[in-house]
Structure 1
Amino acid sequence: MLPMHPQPQPGEILSSWMVRLAFANGFMLHTFYDKLLGYHAPIWNRDTDRDPSIALLTLLAQHTGHAVAELQTLTLLPYQGRLFDTPINGHWSWIRPVGVYHRKRKRPGMQFCPLCLAQSPTSYYRLPWRLALYVVCEHHQCVMEECCPACHAPIAFHRHGIGRGKTVDDEALRFCCHCHFNLTSMNPVFATWPDPPSWERLRRIIAAIEQGYWECGPLTPPCSLPFFIGLRTLVSVLSGRNGRQLRQRLGDTLGVEIPWNSPGQHDEFEYQSPATRLILLLAVAWLLEDWPSRFLSLCTRAHFTRSRLAERVDQLPFWLASVADTHLDRRRYLPNPAETLSAGQYLLAHGQKVIPRALVNILGLTADCMELVWKQWHESDKAM
């Protein structure tokens, strides 16, 4: 057992605790893990919070008295099955990428609240701060930060213990690892939004991450994963090229500008800034009010159809797919050959001529379908 093994703080993420563990014992990170604990595999050139090594967790468990299962709760793994199902090409929905490059971090995947860092007796980073859904601090209601305001570098607190000339400091996590700016000295930013109920609904959505469920309507039992899959679809549509009219109508209604992805930009929601993600989530929270009435009303004004919602609507969760199939399907109904044959036989049986106009009339179709039904009739008539 290590002489000093500080307990993980409430909601702390694994990498934060690992850094504090080394510093509490008076060692730099490489010396602590490689020389003292004897773990020679790479640690900081991978996203340890997202994909932790079982060997590393086992070693930490042996030296701190924590069970491996307990340490796994400090990682992003428990969100699988609640926020996302199976990662696609290394992309995890709702999880912010850190852009691992050797032991550096190229992307601002770790967010932070300056007030939380300042007010806690022990500065540490929280697990929910890696979530793209987490756009405002649940305690202080300020917009999350993602970079050092002085040098604009992503948060990489593990680099306090890497490299020559580095020192061990119990309060190192309060500072930028690149320019040593005091992150707790930042002035918090508080956003405005014209619809107060949207704020409350967004807070409930964020709370649903930990609760594990969300009410998806009368025809669907309380669920987590299906809800967040549908929510991710709405966010993507609203900020993408298919949602231009929807975005404009919603912006005009609320008197705000809804951000969207310009050509050449990375279009994944998880890559956007906290301010951008906040507006998009508040806009979707507004759409969810009185579901699906408000959403359908906006879709009608924006001429938004089923095909613009998703390429494969059948792969969407029921609470969203059922609305799209029932109310947004603008596809023209086309008869199959058997129906056209039956219509022609009915006309003949009643002494009427089989002509294109008569076929579309008896089938209840418009004139633009005449060419199709006439072709179907000729082909079926030849086959008889």
Structure 2
Amino acid sequence: MFLIRKSPLLGESLSSWRQRSGLENGFHRFPLNRNEKNKDPDRLPEEGDIDWIQHSLSVERQSLERMTADYWIGNAKSRLSGKIRWLIALEANGNSISSGSMFCPMCLREDVTPYYRIAWRFAFVTSCHTHGRTLLDRCPQCRERIWPTASEFKRRKGWLPVHYCSSCRSDLSTFSSIEQPGNFRSVWPALRSDQLPDSIAQASNRYDYLQGLWVVSQFLMRRRSEKLRDKLRQSVFPELAIDYFKAHTIEQLNVIQRQPVIQAATWLLESWPHRFVEVAQHSGVQRHHFGEILHIAPAWFQTIVSEKLTVRHYRAISLNQATEMIDRLKSTNPKTTKADVRRALGISESAVLNDLMSQRRHATQQDLLAMRDIFEELTLTTPTRRTALASVKRDYLIFLLSVLFGGTIEEICELTKERVLSRLQAEQRRDNGLYRSLLAKAYDLLQEYPWKMKPNGTQGFASRFGAELKGHSVRSRITLMMAPLDQTLWRSVDVFRFLFSTQPLGRRAKRLKKFTGDKH
């Protein structure tokens, strides 16, 4: 099929090499295997597609793997699944926050054969390690992304070299970029030579190090790290932005915004862990500030955060002190929580405070009726355009099923339509009036909800855009809806789980029951 078979160039990406090979053989479209799935062209292909590429283009397996993002972020042999961290999405749009694949004009200008490097796909790379200049992530002429996806290559008409913009056909090698500020050292040369930065002796491999760097970078973007950013901005990195609220991950920032974040994160990891601990403690950073991103951090990072940033203040407070502080805070904020009072008093736990601001862990039927009214009002006021109303009805149905079946939100999200229907039919024998009314409502929502077909051929719950539905997202939305309820009620949908069923005994309760000889 391919008479001219080009060898991969040093550090070239898989998409660049495949497109060059196609152009050399007279193809103006991205060369794909028949029935090959359109996914990120720099990810490791499926085994059948790898065999086709090897046979058609005469490339060794090891050389092919080194051109993929999977090889550099993790391990190509394990075939990383799903979206991987640090990889910049090719599907960039007109949003000023989002960016696309990067390039260095000077590299393209000096190349005998211009090509794209796999390093330009990673968010932790912000400058060219050869020329020391900031990379560009959009065409300076038309402001569009410079490297289309594989599906766009299939739609292209007309021959176009790889170093030309696919939108305005400008020669990208003719542009200029700004010089990298400061003496920041990129981590890419070390990773490319299979080495790790000397400052992280605890990291066992490059994936381990990049995970830690990603967690620090994510933390620097969070609202709760404002004091830490202020300290870094005043002393070391004045380019750090005041906030990054419009972006959720480091990969979504454009290269100019991302550059100081990566620099600051790399600087914090140097001389590990002394510099990181010193700056974090001076900024008031504690373990809980990392939230849900801490569990994905490597063990060496979690250990330091747990040991050095877990602060507990043990100080006795009187009943009068606790009462006065609660009244003072509630005078300005009626929704003051126990955590707000603890922070104001400078304590971690207090038995007095627990008694004064105790929370109910079990809802009443009145609470359940209030939640039903909130959902009913939402179904009437939510606009019908797109899938907004369908999403509300889906969450309403999941909430009702959790109450009726006594299951967690995560368990309900895993149920298929057939399974939900059979369980509802089994619950018909109940005589409780409220239970039967909720059961009837669940039947109606079951018929109205547009069920999605799963890969295994069954119909089940899906997200707004057809992806797998995550239970924690449904749980968080329902928690927000519980705001009008009694403030003493625990803010979790689990408070409704055992309204119509008996809560199972825990291990401690079972042991106590066995010890006391209670048979009931």
TM-score range (shorter-chain normalised) is 0.7 to 0.9
Q: Which amino acid aligns with 1:78?
A: Y
Whether 1:234 aligns to 2:223 is no
Q: Which amino acid aligns with 1:14?
A: L
- Corresponding residue for 1:381? none
Q: Which amino acid aligns with 1:92?
A: I
Q: Which amino acid aligns with 1:283?
A: A
Query: 2:215 and 2:348 mapped to 1: Cα distance?
Result: 36
Query: 1:189 and 1:306 mapped to 2: Cα distance?
Result: 38
Change (3 A) 1:278 1:133: same
Q: Which amino acid aligns with 1:110?
A: S
SS of the aligned residue for 2:116 comes to coil
Q: Deviations over 1:195-244 (max 9, x none)?
A: x4xx13xx2x22332215344656x3643222221211111111111211
Q: Which amino acid aligns with 1:142?
A: R
Q: Deviations over 1:41-69 (max 9, x none)?
A: 256x4212114233332122112322344
Query: 1:133 and 1:75 mapped to 2: Cα distance?
Result: 16
Q: Deviations over 1:323-342 (max 9, x none)?
A: 2222211134699xxxxxxx
Query: 2:79 and 2:313 mapped to 1: Cα distance?
Result: 35
Query: 1:114 and 1:236 mapped to 2: Cα distance?
Result: 29
Query: 2:265 and 2:157 mapped to 1: Cα distance?
Result: 48
SS of the aligned residue for 2:162 comes to helix
Whether 1:297 aligns to 2:283 is no
- Corresponding residue for 2:230? 248
Change (3 A) 1:274 1:305: same
Whether 1:140 aligns to 2:131 is yes
Q: Per-residue deviation at 1:372?
A: 8.0
Question: How does the TM-score come out when normalised to structure 2?
Answer: 0.55
Partner residue of 1:321 out of 294, 302, 306: 302
Partner residue of 2:64 out of 71, 84, 90: 71
- Quote the RMSD (CA, aligned, Å): 3.5
Contact 2:12/2:118, CA 8 A, preserved across alignment = yes
Q: Deviations over 1:223-276 (max 9, x none)?
A: 32222212111111111112111001111112604125544x232101111122
Q: Which amino acid aligns with 1:191?
A: Q
Q: Which amino acid aligns with 2:228?
A: L
Q: Per-residue deviation at 1:18?
A: 1.3
Contact 1:214/1:222, CA 8 A, preserved across alignment = no
Which consecutive unaligned segments of at least 5 residues does structure 2 have?
Answer: 317-346, 357-520
- Corresponding residue for 1:208? 190
Q: Deviations over 1:319-378 (max 9, x none)?
A: 22222222211134699xxxxxxxxxxxxxxxxxxxxxxxxxxxxxx9984648999xxx
Q: Per-residue deviation at 1:287?
A: 2.0
Partner residue of 1:280 out of 261, 270, 278: 261
After superposition, residues 88-167 of structure 1 pair within 5 angstroms as: 90-99=82-91, 108-156=99-147, 162-163=154-155, 166-167=158-159
Contact 2:127/2:180, CA 8 A, preserved across alignment = no
Whether 1:176 aligns to 2:168 is no
Query: 1:312 and 1:209 mapped to 2: Cα distance?
Result: 24
Q: Per-residue deviation at 1:315?
A: 5.2
Change (3 A) 1:82 1:187: same
- Corresponding residue for 1:20? 20
Contact 2:211/2:296, CA 8 A, preserved across alignment = no
Q: Relative contact order, CA 8 A, sep 6+: which one is greater?
A: 1
Query: 1:260 and 1:181 mapped to 2: Cα distance?
Result: 35
Q: Which amino acid aligns with 2:147?
A: A
Contact 1:2/1:63, CA 8 A, preserved across alignment = yes
Query: 1:182 and 1:206 mapped to 2: Cα distance?
Result: 26
Question: How does the TM-score come out when normalised to structure 1?
Answer: 0.72
Q: Per-residue deviation at 1:141?
A: 0.8
Which consecutive unaligned segments of at least 5 residues does structure 1 have?
Answer: 336-365, 376-384
Identity %: 23
Change (3 A) 1:286 1:117: same
Q: Which amino acid aligns with 2:2?
A: L
Contact 1:98/1:109, CA 8 A, preserved across alignment = yes
Query: 2:270 and 2:264 mapped to 1: Cα distance?
Result: 10
Contact 1:111/1:144, CA 8 A, preserved across alignment = yes
- Corresponding residue for 1:361? none
Contact 1:148/1:183, CA 8 A, preserved across alignment = yes
The number of residues matched between the two structures is 320
Contact 2:212/2:297, CA 8 A, preserved across alignment = yes
Q: Which amino acid aligns with 1:181?
A: S
Q: Per-residue deviation at 1:149?
A: 0.9
Query: 1:286 and 1:272 mapped to 2: Cα distance?
Result: 19
Q: Per-residue deviation at 1:192?
A: 1.9
